[in-house]
Amino acid sequence: MKIGRIETFYVAPRWLFVRVESDDGAVGWGEASLEGHAEAVDGAFAALRDRFIGHDPFAIEDIWQVAYRGGFYRGGAVLMSALAGLEQALWDLKGKALDLPAWQMLGGKVREKIRAYAWIGGDRPHEIADAAKARRGQGFSAVKMNATAELDWIGTPKLFGEVIERVEAAQAAGMDVGLDFHGRVHRPMAKQLAKALEPLGLLFIEEPLLSENPEGLRQIADMTSTPIALGERLYSRWDFKPFLTSGAVDIIQPDLSHAGGLLECRKIAAMAEAFDVAVAPHCPLGPLALASCLQLAACTPNVAIQEMSLGIHYNVGADLFSYCSDKIALTPIDGFLPIPEGPGLGVNVDEDAIRESHKDAHRWRNPVWRLADGSFAEW
């Protein structure tokens, strides 16, 4: 068996799917979505096709090593997202060829289901109480929301009152709450906000500062008992290593479509386990990304909770199940996602719907925000 074809598809609302087909007709699907940069990731597949058409598709580790090391320049969001989508598709192909789920090939199950959380509130959070009640009605017991809209570099704690009210509204609806700072909060205000939120008993605060500021993250971790989560903008085990050794994080959030794929994130999780750090994979993406996350959750003891994009505010024109021929594998039950039992990634996609969406290829871009003085604001 040899790799015969590698295809990519721009799929609404903002995803990039990957299809790998062997010369004898075996097929696997993966997701290389990098929100707002699909064209750049798609371009990286030119080199992957040159290297791996004709390669043994079962040799996943060798393909990964060659793809990562063989191009001389390593890492980064674009190259690692392309590699992630290819790698996921190879696990899917291999599992379907052998009639085994990926988790079975990675050591077998440690759990039957994983707790899930859903998003509420949108980019500029609002209507939190009603949204939290709606998620409760869907069976969720945990939600995540953005802490704030855009924030200036400095301000006074009176700006935090609305943040606290939103968290309390979600908690009053019976929800555990994770709060995403989204890298929008600069260090002078992040310290104050983290301290103000501490009495609320949050699941975590996510990206209280960007990962490019490890010194500030260490300082915030030292001043609050709230668990610190980050990792969606880290792309390999080498990127995660300094945050684990510094003790600045309690929960890591690798994205299986950004950080090199399923096995690389399994290695990242194993590193985190040695530091008694939990894993909560980042996944505001499509069904193939979520299916990959569930394969990781199945075989990884320190995966604690799973993000999913069902009904997320970015899903305009298509949602999580739009390209699933059978949505049962990715449907939460009483706030938990079951571990898929099917082969490969355990989800079946509607290829006709994917090809139809690709005909009108999306050009999704995140918004650009500005502060009152006209200067750029982090989104």
Token couple for 2: 């040899």
CB 344 within 8 A of CB 13: no
Which residues does residue 19 pair with via DSSP β-bridges, in sequence order?
7, 29
Active-site choice (37, 258, 282, 362): 282
* CA distance linking residue 18 with residue 32, whole number of Å: 7
Active-site choice (37, 182, 186, 258): 182
Tell me how crowded residue 65 is: count the other CB atoms within 10 A of its CB. Answer: 11
DSSP symbol at 184: -
Active site residue 126: no
DSSP string, 66-86: HHHHTTSS--SHHHHHHHHHH
DSSP string, 26-63: -EEEEE---TT-HHHHHHHHHHHHHHHTTS-TT-HHHH
Active site residue 282: yes
What stretch of H or E contains 7? strand 3-11
Report the candidate in 50, 49, 47, 43 with the shortest Cα–Cα distance to residue 20: 49
DSSP string, 85-147: HHHHHHHHHHHHHHT-BHHHHTT--S-SEEEEEEE-STTTT--HHHHHHHHHHTT-SEEEEES
- Residue owning tokens 């009210």: 165
Q: Calculate the CA 1 to chain-centre distance.
A: 32
Residues noted as catalytic: 182, 282
